[in-house]
Structures are given as structure tokens and as C-alpha cells.
Structure 1
Amino acid sequence: MNSDDVVLRRAGDADALGAADMWLRSFAAALPSVRCAHDDAEVREWFSRVLVPQQETWVAVAGNRVVGLLVLNGGELKQLYLDPAWRGRGLGDRFISLAKRRQPGGLALWTFQVNESAQRFYQRHGFIEVERTDGLRNDEREPDVRYVWRPQKRE
């Protein structure tokens, strides 16, 4: 199955656990040096009670399996995670295009400083670094970096 066969759609309640499990796999693979601040049960609860029902949550579905996740909260891109087997196959690009269409006035996000591949990805998509912190404001206590994207002004 290639990325063109993957459906991007709004998440429903039935997607919450599959999305949480995919997030856990992705976090472990992409961020092996970062301590996950919550155990698996807490992550699944957070997806079921907060992310899916209260925020604009999108999933990428291949067959009947969640292979990607995008969460927007207004102009804040809160989550963008892909199943490790689906990285580098265009899903992230599709999610960023979707996010920009949903928030044409601009987007902002945080990523961990150790996640250099995410930083390169966001920079490729026109995001500009605006701040670095020591991580004391995030649950993981991991140094992070803030990016913003603003649409090009037409002349």
C-alpha cells in the first residue's frame, strides 16, 4: 500500500485507541532519548477524553489501521506523528498541507530540540524557528524549539 491509498479524515471516538497506540509507537521510535511523561494507559485516556473529542484531530488510515495523526487547536499544531513504517512516504507532507488549508492565517508548534529530523521537516515546509527553551514548561522537561509558519503575502 502506498501513501496515495491512505485516507486522511477527521478522527472519531472509535479512532482514539488506535491513534494513541500509533502515537506511542511513533514517540518511542522518533524520540528514544526523551522520557515519555505519561504511561501508556494515561496516553490512551488522554486521546479518548481530550484529543479526539475536544480538539481538531485528523487521522491517516491505511486499511483499518491508524498510521498517522494530526491535531490542531486553532493556529497551534499540537501533534503530528506517523507510524514508524510510514515515515518518509509523503504522509507528513499531506498533513502539513491539510493544516495550512485549515489555518491559512498561520500555524505555530513546538518540537523537541533533539528531534532534528522534525526540525528539518518543518523548515522544509516554511516554518521559521522563533524560540528555544530549556524545556521546563513541557511535561517531559525536554529542551524544545518553537516554529511558526505565516503565509506568503501576495503582491
Structure 2
Amino acid sequence: MSSDDVVLRRAGSADALPAANVWLRSFATALPSVRCAHDAAEVRDWFSRVLVPQYETWVAATENTVVGVLVLNGAEMKQLYLDPAWRGRGLGDRFMSLAKDQQPDGLTLWTFQVNQSAQRFYQRHGFVEVERTDGLRNDEREPDVRYIWQPHPAR
């Protein structure tokens, strides 16, 4: 199955647990050296009570499986996670196009400094690093980096 067979759609309440499970699998695979600040039950609760009902949450879904999640809070990209089996198949690019369409005036995001592949992905999509921190402001206490994307001005 290719990423063209995957539908990007707004998440509903039934998507909260599958989306949380994608987040948990992706976090464990992409960030093995980062301590997850919350256990699986807390992450699932956070998706069910906060992310899906209160934020602009999108899922990538095959016929019956959620394989990716994107969460926007206005111009801030809060989450972008793909099921590990779906990395490198164009789905992240589709989510990025969606995020830029939803926030055409610009986006901002944070990623961990150890997540070099995410940094390369965001840079490839026109994001520019604007800040690095020691991580004391995030739950994981992991050094992070802030990126912004601004559209090119019309000529």
C-alpha cells in the first residue's frame, strides 16, 4: 500500500486511541535515547481528553488503521508522528503540505536536538532553526530546538 492509498482527515473521538498508539510506537522507535515523560495510559488519556477534542488533530488512515497523526494549535505544530512502518513513504510530506495549507502565514514547532532525522525533514520543508534550549521547559527535560517556517512573500 502506498501513501496515495492513505486518507488525511480530521480526527474524531474514535481516532484518539489509535493515534496515541501511533505516537507511542513512533516515539519509542525514533527517540530511543529520550525518556518518555508519561506512561502509555497517560499518553492515551492526553489524546482522548486534550489533543483530539481541543486541538486541530488530523490522522492518516488506511481503510481501517491510523498510521500517522498531525496536531496543530494555530500556527504551532504540536505533533507530527508516523507509524514506523510508514516513514520514508511520502506521508510526512503530505502532512507537511496539509499543515502549510492550514496555516499559510507560517508555522512553528519544537523537536528534540537528538532527533536529527526530524531536523533534516523540517529543514527540507523550509523550516529554519531559531532557538535551542537546554530542555528544562519540556516534560522530557531533553534539549530541544525550535523551528519556524514562513511562506515566501508574493512578488
Is the structural similarity TM-score above 0.5? yes
Aligned to 1:31: 31
- Structure 2 distance, partners of 1:2, 1:149, is 28
**CA drift at 1:115:** 0.1
- Structure 2 distance, partners of 1:27, 1:143, is 16
- Structure 2 distance, partners of 1:40, 1:9, is 24
The within-5 A match list for 1:3-152 is 3-152=3-152
Q: Which runs of 5+ in 2 are unaligned?
A: none
Equivalent residue letter for 1:36: C
- Structure 2 distance, partners of 1:50, 1:19, is 13
Q: Kindly provide the CA deviation profile for residues 98-125 of structure 1, in whole angstroms up to 9, marking residues without a partner as x.
A: 0000000000000000000000000000
**CA drift at 1:154:** 1.5
Identity %: 81
- Structure 2 distance, partners of 1:128, 1:110, is 11
Equivalent residue letter for 2:134: D
**CA drift at 1:41:** 0.3
- Structure 2 distance, partners of 1:56, 1:154, is 27
- Structure 1 distance, partners of 2:45, 2:90, is 29
TM-score, normalised with respect to structure 2: 0.99
Equivalent residue letter for 2:101: R
Aligned residues: 155
Q: Which runs of 5+ in 1 are unaligned?
A: none
- Structure 1 distance, partners of 2:81, 2:154, is 31
Runs of 4+ aligned residues of structure 1 deviating over 4 Å after TM superposition are: none
- Structure 2 distance, partners of 1:64, 1:49, is 22
- Structure 2 distance, partners of 1:50, 1:110, is 19
- Structure 2 distance, partners of 1:146, 1:21, is 25
- Structure 2 distance, partners of 1:71, 1:151, is 20
- Structure 1 distance, partners of 2:113, 2:136, is 13
- Structure 1 distance, partners of 2:75, 2:22, is 24
